[in-house]
Structure 1
C-alpha cells in the first residue's frame, strides 16, 4: 500500500500544512472536519501537492525534510513544478 506526503493550503489562513498518510481522502476529510488541532482553525483546506512512497518511513522522512527547510518559497516551488 502506498503512503503519501501531501501539502494542503488554506486561503483563509494563507498557510500551508505538510503531512503524510496512507489514505489521502480520509486525511483531507479529517482536516476539513477540524479533527487536526493545527488545521481546525480553517475549513477551506485544499490539496495542492502529493508524492507517493513505498513505506510510511520514507513518506515521514520526506515530510521532515520539507518541514526542516521552514521555507514557504520551497513549498510554493514544489507546488509549481
Structure 2
C-alpha cells in the first residue's frame, strides 16, 4: 500500500497542517467537512504539497521530520512559498 505525506493550508487562518494517509482524497474531504477536530477551525483547507512513500513507517518519519523542521520553513525550502 502506498502512503502520502501532505501539507494543507487554511484559507481562513493561513495555518499549516501536515499529516499522512493512504487515501489522500478521502482524508482531504474529511478535513474540509470538519470531521477532524484539529483542523475544524481552519476550514476551508487547500492542498499545497504532497509526496508518496512506499511504507507507512517511511511516511511517519517524513511527517515528523517536516514538523520538526517547521512546516513553513520546509515549504520555503521546497520553493512552495
Q: Please give the TM-score of this superposition, normalised by the length of structure 1.
A: 0.89
In the TM superposition, what are the counterparts of 1:48-59 in structure 2 within 5 Å?
A: 48-59=48-59
Deviation track 1:11-39 (CA, whole Å, cap 9, x = no partner) reads: 21111100000000010011001111111
How many pairs does the alignment contain?
Answer: 81
Alignment of 1:41-52 (within 5 A): 41-52=41-52
User: What residue ranges of structure 2 are gaps of 5+ in the alignment?
Assistant: none
**Any stretches of 5+ residues in structure 1 without a counterpart?**
none
Residues 7 and 18, structure 1, Cα contact 8 Å, conserved in 2: yes
Aligned-pair distance for 1:75? 2.3
Decide whether aligned partners of structure 1 residues 16 and 8 sit closer, same or farther in structure 2, where only a CA change above 3 A counts: same
Superposition TM-score, scaled by structure 2 size? 0.89
